[in-house]
Chain A
Amino acid sequence: MLRSRALTLAIALVATAGSAVAIHAQMRASVAAAVTYLFPEQITVVADKPTPVDLHFKVAPGMHVNSHTPRGEEFIATTLNVPETSGVRLVHATFPPGTDFSFPIDPKEKLSVYTGEFTIHAELSAPRGEHLVEATLRYQACNTNVCMPPHSIPVAIDVIAK
C-alpha cells in the first residue's frame, strides 16, 4: 500500500517536473521565434533597376513587436537591414502602419505595434547575376506582461537579376 502511494507520488512528481520543463522550453522557443520570415525565398529582378518586393513576416500568437514608427523614442522600432556587401541595395522600404495596443492594466497608454502577419514593401536593386542576400529584421517583442530584448532574424533571399 505504502509502496503504491510512493510510486504514485513519484509519477506525479516526474509528470509535474516534465510539464514544467516542457512549458519552459515552449516559452523559450516562442521568445526566440517571436517573428518568423515567411516569404519570398527567391525573386527575379531587372538588373540595376529598383524592383518592388513584398517581404512577409509573422508575429507569434500572443506577442507583438513595435512598429517601424513606435510612439516614444525609447521604444525600439522594427527595421530592415540589407548588408552593403551583398551587392544588392535596399532602395526603399515602406513599413505598414502599426496598430494600437494597450496593456490591460494601463489602457490609456497606446503603443504602435505589429501583430499577426505584416508585410514590408521593399525596393531592391541588384547588378546582373545571382546574389544571396542575408538581410536582417530587427525587432523588440513583448507579450501582455513581459518584454524580451531586441532581436534580429535573418531574411535570406536569393536575388536573380537579369
Chain B
Amino acid sequence: MKRNVIVLSIVVLVLGLLSLAGWANWQNRKQAAERALAQQTQAVLVPDGAGTPQMTSPLVGKPAPAFTLTNLKGEKVSLASYKGKAVQLNFWATWCAPCKIETPWLVDLEKKYGPQGFEILGVSFDDLDKGDKALLAKEKADIAKSVDQLHIPYPVLLDGDSIAKPYGDNDVYPTSYFVDRSGTVVAATFGLTSKDDLESNIKKAIGGGK
C-alpha cells in the first residue's frame, strides 16, 4: 500500500514536471515568435537617392495589422471597420513636440481629402497606468486636454503600446502608416517630415486598393 502511494506520487511528480517543461517550452516558442514578428515589421534605415538615410517599413505592401482600441469616449474602434477608406494611422504622444508641429497639417489634410474617403486615426502612445484607477483617469484626461488644445477633429485611440509589436515596435514619434482602401500599407513615415510628404502619401493611400 505504502509502496503504491510512493510510486503514484513519483508518477504524479514526473507528469507535473513534464507538464511544466512543456508549458515553459511553449512560452519560449511563443516569445521567440513574437520577437521574430517584431523584427520582421521593424522599420529600417536605408539610403535614399541622395544617400541620406531614410527609415522605411517592411509593412509597406502588406496588410495593415488588425487592431481594436478604445477612443477617448471609451468606444471600441477597429481598423477593420475602415475597410473601403484610405486611412492614415498617426502614432503620437502628448509629450512629443514634433507630433504637435505636424498636427495642424494633418487636420488640414483630412479636411481636404475627407470627401475622397480619407480618414485619420490618431493613436496615442502615452503611458496608461491600468492598475491605478485615479491615475488612469488623470492620464486619459491629459490626453483629452491635448486633443482639445491641438483642435484634433479625428478619433484618437488610446493604449498604442498594445499594438506596437505588430507595427514594428519602432519607438519613434511621430510615425504614420498610410493604408489604402483594401487595407494594405502603401507608405510609412518616421519622424517629422513635411506637409507635402504627408500629402503625397495620402494620395497614394486614396489611389490604391480600389
Task: Give A13-45 interface residues, CB cut-off 8 Å to B.
Answer: 16, 19-21, 23-24, 27, 31
The interface-forming segment of B5-13, B16-24, B94-102, B202-210 is B94-102
Nearest-neighbour CB distance to chain B for A99, whole angstroms, equals: 15
Residues of B contacting A84 with CB < 8 Å?
Answer: none
Task: Report B72-117 residues with CB < 8 Å from chain A CB.
Answer: 93-99, 101
- 9 residue pairs A–B, Cβ–Cβ below 8 Å: A20-B44, A23-B46, A24-B45, A31-B171, A76-B95, A103-B97, A109-B101, A142-B98, A145-B192
* B47 at interface, CB cutoff 8 A: yes
Q: Which of B45, B97, B142, B192 contacts A27 (CB 8 A)?
A: B45
Contact indicator B45/A149 (Cβ below 8 Å): no
Q: How many Å lie between the Cα of A148 and that of B164 in the bound state?
A: 13
- Judged by a CB distance under 8 angstroms, whether B172 is at the interface is yes
Assuming the contacts A147-B172, A148-B172, A149-B125, asked whether A75 and B97 have C-beta atoms less than 8 A apart, the reply is yes
Main secondary structure of the interface of A (DSSP, over half): mixed
Query: Given A103-B97, A111-B97, A145–B191 Cβ distance below 8 Å?
Result: yes
User: Which chain B residues (9-58) contact chain A, with CB distance < 8 Å?
Assistant: 43-47, 53
Let me know if A140 and B95 touch, CB within 8 A: yes
Of residues B47, B94, B96, which shows the largest number of chain A Cβ atoms within 10 Å of its Cβ?
A: B96
- By the criterion CB–CB under 8 Å, are A21 and B44 in contact? yes
CB of B191, distance to nearest CB on chain A (Å): 4
Which of A20, A31, A109 contacts B97, CB < 8 Å?
A109
A-B contact count (CB 8 A): 66
B167: interface (CB < 8 Å): no
> Which of A16, A75, A105 contacts B46 (CB under 8 A)?
A16
The CA of A16 and the CA of B49, in the complex, are separated in Å by 12
Whether A74 pairs with B94 at a CB distance below 8 angstroms is: yes
Complex CA distance for A147 and B99, rounded to whole angstroms: 9
B residues less than 8 Å from A20 (CB atoms): 44-47
Q: Which of B93, B191, B193 sits near A149, CB closer than 8 Å?
A: B93
Docked Cα-Cα span, A140 to B97, in Å, equals 11
A154 at the interface (CB under 8 A from B): no
Which residue from A23, A24, A103 sits with its C-beta under 8 Å from B101?
Answer: A103
Complex CA–CA separation, A76 to B95 (angstroms): 6
For residue A145, which residues in chain B have a CB less than 8 angstroms away from its CB?
Answer: 98, 191-193
Q: How far is the CA of A21 from the CA of B46 in the complex (A)?
A: 8
Contacting residues, chain A, for B172 (C-beta < 8 A): 31, 146-148
Q: Given known contacts A20-B46, A145-B192, A149-B125, what 9 new A-B pairs fall within 8 Å (CB)?
A: A21-B44, A27-B45, A105-B101, A145-B193, A147-B99, A147-B172, A147-B173, A148-B171, A149-B171
Answer whether residue A61 sits at the interface, using C-beta atoms and an 8 A cutoff: no
Contacts of A74 in B (CB 8 A): 94-95, 142, 146
A147 and B96 contact, CB distance less than 8 A: yes
- Inter-chain contact B191/A150, CB cutoff 8 Å: no
Q: Are B97 and A147 in contact (CB under 8 A)?
A: yes
* Cross-chain contact A146 with B101 (CB below 8 angstroms): no
**Residue of A106, A111, A149, A150 with most partner-chain B CB within 10 A:** A149
Q: How far is the CA of A16 from the CA of B47 in the complex (A)?
A: 8
Contacts of B127 in A (CB 8 A): 150
What residue of chain B has the Cβ atom nearest to residue A74's Cβ? B94
A75 to B93 CA separation, bound complex (whole angstroms): 10
Residue of B nearest to A149 (CB): B171
